[in-house]
Amino acid sequence: MFDWILVLVAFVGSFIAGVIDLKTTEIPDQIPYVMAVIGIIFHIIQSIVLQSFNPLIYSLTAGIGFLVFGLFMYYTGQWGGGDAKLLSAMGFLLGNVNVTTKVFFPLPLSLFFNVFFVGAIYMILYAVVLAFLNKKIWYEFVHQIKSNTKMLVMLNITIAAVLIIFGILSLNFFAGLNFMELVLIEIKLVIITIFLFLVWRFSKTVEDVGFKRKIPVSELKEGDVLLDSKVWEGITKQQLKQIKKSGKKHVWIKEGVRFGLAFPLALIFTIFIGDGLLILIGMI
């Protein structure tokens, strides 16, 4: 009963935070704070009932460990502060929870890996949806592909040449591959190279066209993130007043993938499907 209550709180809290993030680009601090407090209180009660410090220790270890990692992501400009706090809150809630047999690792650790596994899929879908809403992204993407066609062709010729040389050597010295196996490996690597190039170019185009905007200072509002900001932190009311008094007419702002919904999705994936990391390893 304790475990499922904590899972429910983690899902509902992260889902509400994700929806708000999707609408406003901000995750209110109150949500992860309340989640963390509930998690700690429940684990204290569980420790008293079981007469063991382990539930509380596991909760604190997961929550604090996730917070340290989240702050690292925040100060390196990868995440917003709300994402870091939300991950930490889920650690405090799920530190001693065991509600599924689908995972190989402890639930908090499986969730941690799945945040990135599910999050990567979420970010790709988010970027695709954004591109459909902003036609300039597709135009620029096609332009970039045409501009880099020669580079892509040269890259694949280089890969093919290296593989041919490797194939000759392997047939002479290792005798581990026949001609058709070498051809298949070459084709696969060329396809993977093209795919990775297209994904990288598409992501870069979305970042340049969809996530960066030049706007009049009159349209700047509290919570917008300036392009030159090293951390994902929106400007305050005081900073907004200073910018408007500076005499600037335009400023560049940036947005990112509104990542909040990746947390409840990762939780559902963890409980009902399992470890994304092991699934990925099995596909290789």
Return the structure tokens found at 55.
């539930």
> For 90-114, how does the pLDDT look when each residue is reduced to its tens digit (9 = 90+)?
999 999 998 988 888 889 999 999 9
CB 271 within 8 A of CB 99: yes
pLDDT category, 250, cuts 50, 70, 90? confident
Q: Write down the pLDDT at residue 174.
A: 43
pTM of the model: 0.74
Per cent of the chain over pLDDT 90 is: 37
| Residues forming a β-bridge with 253 | 213, 226
pLDDT category, 201, cuts 50, 70, 90? confident
Mean pLDDT of the chain: 83
Q: Write down the pLDDT at residue 185.
A: 65
Q: Write down the pLDDT at residue 158.
A: 72
Q: Write down the pLDDT at residue 173.
A: 42
CB-based contacts of 262: which residues, under 8 Å, 6+ apart?
A: 18, 115, 118, 119, 122, 123
CB 29 within 8 A of CB 84: no
**pLDDT at residue 177 is higher than 60:** no
Q: Write down the pLDDT at residue 248.
A: 83
Beta-sheet strand order (sheet of 250-254):
212-216, 250-254, 225-226
CB 27 within 8 A of CB 85: yes
**pLDDT at residue 226 is higher than 90:** no
> For 117-175, how does the pLDDT look when each residue is reduced to its tens digit (9 = 90+)?
898 888 888 888 888 888 888 888 888 778 777 776 776 677 666 656 655 555 544 44
